Structure 1
Amino acid sequence: MNRKHLFLLFLLVVYLPYVPRTATAQVYRATDPLAHTFSIVARDPQTGDMAVAVQSHWFSVGTSVSWGEAGVGVVATQSFTNKSFGMRGLALLKSGKTAQQALDELLRTDEGRDVRQVAILDAQGSVATHTGKKCVDMAGQQQGNQFSVQANMMLTNTVPTAMANAYEQNAKLPFAERVVASLEAAQAAGGDIRGRQSAALLVVRGKATDAPWDDRLIDLRVDDSAEPLKELARLLRLRRAYEHMNAGDLAVEKNDVPGAIREYQAAEKLFPDNLEMKYWHAISLANKQQVPAALKMLQPIFKQDPNWRTLTQRLPKVGLLTVSNAELKQILALP
C-alpha cells in the first residue's frame, strides 16, 4: 500500500464520520493533493508586489497550493487541498470582495472546511486565514502587517511563530528573499513532520499592467528535491544573476560600456560557473572594440566547451558579433 492509499484510509477512518450524510459535495477527491505544508502570503509595502511561497513533503506543491494574479491578490490553499479555492478566491477578490469576504464565501460552500487550511491576501494588503479544526497537528497560523503564515502537520508547534519572526526581522532583504527566509525559518523550527520534497515561490505585481505576460515577476518551482528550499534559494540567486545580465545588455545598447561591465560582473559573481554569462559578456566587449579583453575571457570558455567557438562563427551573419574579419579570425584561432 503506497503513501496516498494510506492517507485515503486515514481520511475514511478519521474524517468520514464528520461529513453529513446529506452532503452533496465531497471532502476529498482522489485527484486532489494531500498538501500538508507550511506557506506564507505577503505584500511588499514598498512596491505593492505580492508573494505566496510554500514547502511541503509532497510532489510539485506549487501546482496545488500557490495562486496569484497581479493587481488582485494571492492565495495559499493547503492541508486537504481544495485547488478550486485558488482560482475562485482570486475571482472573488477581482469582483471587489475583501480577503475576508472571499474566504468566508469559499468556506460557506465547502463541506470539507474543517480539514482545509487557507490564506488569502488582497492587493491592499488585507489578509484572511482559516485553519480547520480537523487539520492534522501541529497546525496553526499567525498574521502580521500585510502577511500571514500558516502550517499544518508540523513537527513542532513553533513553526508559525518562527516564520512570522523571520519575515519581520528580515525587512532589509529584497522582498522575494525575505519570503524565502520565512520558509527557511519554518524548516529550522522542525518543518513538515514527514520531511521535505518540493517548494515554490510566486511573486506578482501589485498593479496589473498592459503586458500581463510580464506581471508574474518571479515564478519558481522545485518539484522534487532532497533539499527543496536550498534549491529554491539557488534558483532565486540565478534569477537575480540573469536580471543583472539583462541590465548589462541594456547598458550595451545605450553604449554604456562601464555600466555593462559592472552588471555582467555582478551576474557572474552570483553564478560563477555559468559559461553563457561569461560568453555574452565577452561578445559585448568585442562589439565595443575591446577585443583583447574579450579574447582573455573567451579562451577558457572555448577550451572548456568548443561548441561556443562554433557558435561564435555563426554570430556575424545575424549581426550579434560586429568585429572585423581580422578580429574574427583572431577570436576563432584561440587555442
Structure 2
Amino acid sequence: MNKLYLFLFILSFQMMSSQVYKKSEPFTHTYSIVARDSVTGDIGVAVQSHWFSVGTTVTYAKAGVGVIATQSLVNPSYGPRGLALMEQGLSPQQALDVLISNDSGEMYRQVAFLNTNGDVATHTGELCIEAAGHQQGKNFSVQANMMLKNTVWDAMANAFETTEGTLSERIIAALKAAEAEKGDIRGRQSAAILIVKGTATGNSWEDTIMDLRVEDHENPISELERLVNIHKAYDFMNKGDLAMEAGDSHEAENLYLSAQKLFPDNLEMQYWYAINLLNNKEYTKAHPILTTIFEQDNNWRELTSRLKKSKLLVISEEELEKVMKL
C-alpha cells in the first residue's frame, strides 16, 4: 500500500475516533475469545454476558481480514473500524493502537483483535471492573471483565489450548471453562459465536461459516452448544442436498445419515435419508422410516409425490404407489 495513502487513511480514523466515547455506551461486561484454526485457517470470535443480545454489540468478523471482540463499557466502533484498519494492512496491534490513542474512554475498554495469520492484540483498560484481565496464546486471545473470580481467563486459555476438535468445539470449550469458574459476577444471559473463512472467496454468502446467537436464555452457553451441534447437522444436510442435486445419491445418503446422527429426533433429516434410500433402491430400509414419519405428519406423504414430479425422487410409478400407501 502507498505509505502516504495509509497515513491519510489512519489520520481520517483518528479524526473520526476523537469523539467516539459517549456515556450512553452499553455496559457489555463479559468474557470472550478470538481464535484461529491453524489447520483450516478459519477465524472466529465468541462471547457470553449478562446482557441482552450481546453478539450484536461485541462480535465482529470479516473473512480474509480478522475478528474483533469489543466489550466492557463497549465502544462498538472498534469492530468495523478495526477491521477496516487491518484490511488496509495494519497489524492487530497497530490497528488497536490507532483506536485506543484517540479514545477518551480507553480506560474502560476491553478489546481483542486477531488477523488471519493468528496475530493478536489485546487491551484491558485500567478502569475495567474487577475481576478483569486477558491472556494471549498462539492463535488466540481470551479476555474477561466483571468476573466473580480472576481465574476465568486462565481457565479459558487452558481449555482452548488443550481441547481437540473443530474451531467451534474449542471455542465452546473455552466458554464453558469460564462458566466453570463462575463467570460473570452478575450471572448469564446471552451468547454468540461468529466464524468466517481465513481466505475470502469473494462471495459473502460463502465466507461466513457460522453465525449463531442466543439472545436471552437462562443457560446461554448450553443453548449455544446445542445450536452449534444443530448447525453441524444442517451443514451435512446442505452438502447432502448438493450431492442429491448432482445425482450422487450414495454420497447424499451418507451425508443425510451423518446429519441424522447429530439430530436424531428431527423428522426432516429422517425423511431425506429415507428418500435417498428409495433412490438407491433400498426399499425395505426406507419403508419403515417413511411409515413412522407419515404417522406423525401426513404432509410428508404429499411431499413425496411432489418430489417425483421434480425428479428428485427417481422411482417407478409402481414403487411410488406403494410408498403412498404406507
Do the two structures share a fold, i.e. TM-score over 0.5?
A: yes
Matches within 5 A, 1:215-234: 215-234=207-226
> Residue 235 of structure 2: which of 222, 233, 243 is its match?
243
Q: Once the two structures are superposed, what CA deviation does each residue of 1:144-200 show, in whole Å capped at 9, x if it has no partner?
A: 112100000101000000000001111x21111101100110010110111111111
Q: CA deviation at 1:125?
A: 1.2
Query: 2:68 and 2:239 mapped to 1: Cα distance?
Result: 32
Matched, 1:317 2:309: yes
Q: Which residue is 1:28 aligned to?
A: 22
Q: Which residue is 1:99 aligned to?
A: 92
Q: Which residue is 2:129 aligned to?
A: 136
Q: Which residue is 1:19 aligned to?
A: none
Query: 2:63 and 2:138 mapped to 1: Cα distance?
Result: 20
Q: CA deviation at 1:295?
A: 1.2
Query: 1:189 and 1:55 mapped to 2: Cα distance?
Result: 13
> Residue 66 of structure 1: which of 48, 59, 64 is its match?
59
RMSD: 1.8
Q: Residues 66 and 115 of structure 2 are in contact (CA less than 8 Å); yes or no, is this contact kept in structure 1?
A: yes
> Residue 106 of structure 2: which of 106, 113, 121 is its match?
113
Question: In structure 2, do the counterparts of structure 1 residues 162 and 231 end up closer, same or farther at CA, with 3 Å as the change threshold?
Answer: same
Moved more, 60-69 or 206-215: 206-215
State the SS of the aligned residue for 1:163: helix
Q: Residues 301 and 308 of structure 1 are in contact (CA less than 8 Å); yes or no, is this contact kept in structure 2?
A: yes
Q: Once the two structures are superposed, what CA deviation does each residue of 1:51-108 show, in whole Å capped at 9, x if it has no partner?
A: 1010011111111000000110000000011111100000000111110010011111
Matches within 5 A, 1:167-206: 167-170=160-163, 172-206=164-198
Identity, % of aligned positions: 55
> Residue 146 of structure 2: which of 150, 153, 163 is its match?
153
Query: 2:67 and 2:53 mapped to 1: Cα distance?
Result: 18
Q: Once the two structures are superposed, what CA deviation does each residue of 1:87-142 show, in whole Å capped at 9, x if it has no partner?
A: 00000001111100100111111111011100001121111100111111111101
Question: In structure 2, do the counterparts of structure 1 residues 329 and 188 end up closer, same or farther at CA, with 3 Å as the change threshold?
Answer: same
Query: 2:91 and 2:249 mapped to 1: Cα distance?
Result: 49
Q: Residues 45 and 68 of structure 2 are in contact (CA less than 8 Å); yes or no, is this contact kept in structure 1?
A: yes
Matched, 1:288 2:280: yes
Q: Residues 28 and 80 of structure 1 are in contact (CA less than 8 Å); yes or no, is this contact kept in structure 2?
A: no
Query: 1:78 and 1:164 mapped to 2: Cα distance?
Result: 18
Structure 2 letter corresponding to 1:25: Q
State the SS of the aligned residue for 2:21: coil
Structure 2 letter corresponding to 1:309: R
Q: Residues 253 and 276 of structure 2 are in contact (CA less than 8 Å); yes or no, is this contact kept in structure 1?
A: no
State the SS of the aligned residue for 1:226: coil
Q: Which residue is 1:50 aligned to?
A: 43
Equivalent pairs, count? 310
Q: Once the two structures are superposed, what CA deviation does each residue of 1:218-261 show, in whole Å capped at 9, x if it has no partner?
A: 11111111111111111111111122223434444566555443
Query: 1:66 and 1:104 mapped to 2: Cα distance?
Result: 19
Q: Which residue is 1:304 aligned to?
A: 296
Structure 2 letter corresponding to 1:284: N
State the SS of the aligned residue for 2:64: coil
Query: 1:26 and 1:45 mapped to 2: Cα distance?
Result: 35
Structure 1 letter corresponding to 2:31: F
Q: CA deviation at 1:289?
A: 2.3
Query: 1:248 and 1:128 mapped to 2: Cα distance?
Result: 40
Question: In structure 2, do the counterparts of structure 1 residues 318 and 254 end up closer, same or farther at CA, with 3 Å as the change threshold?
Answer: closer
Structure 2 residues without counterparts, runs of 5 or longer: 1-17
Query: 2:247 and 2:168 mapped to 1: Cα distance?
Result: 31
Question: In structure 2, do the counterparts of structure 1 residues 288 and 26 end up closer, same or farther at CA, with 3 Å as the change threshold?
Answer: closer
The alignment's TM-score, normalised by the length of structure 1, stands at: 0.88
Query: 1:104 and 1:227 mapped to 2: Cα distance?
Result: 35
Query: 2:90 and 2:238 mapped to 1: Cα distance?
Result: 38
Matches within 5 A, 1:258-269: 258-269=250-261
Question: In structure 2, do the counterparts of structure 1 residues 149 and 108 end up closer, same or farther at CA, with 3 Å as the change threshold?
Answer: same
State the SS of the aligned residue for 1:54: strand
Q: Which residue is 1:326 aligned to?
A: 318
Matched, 1:274 2:262: no
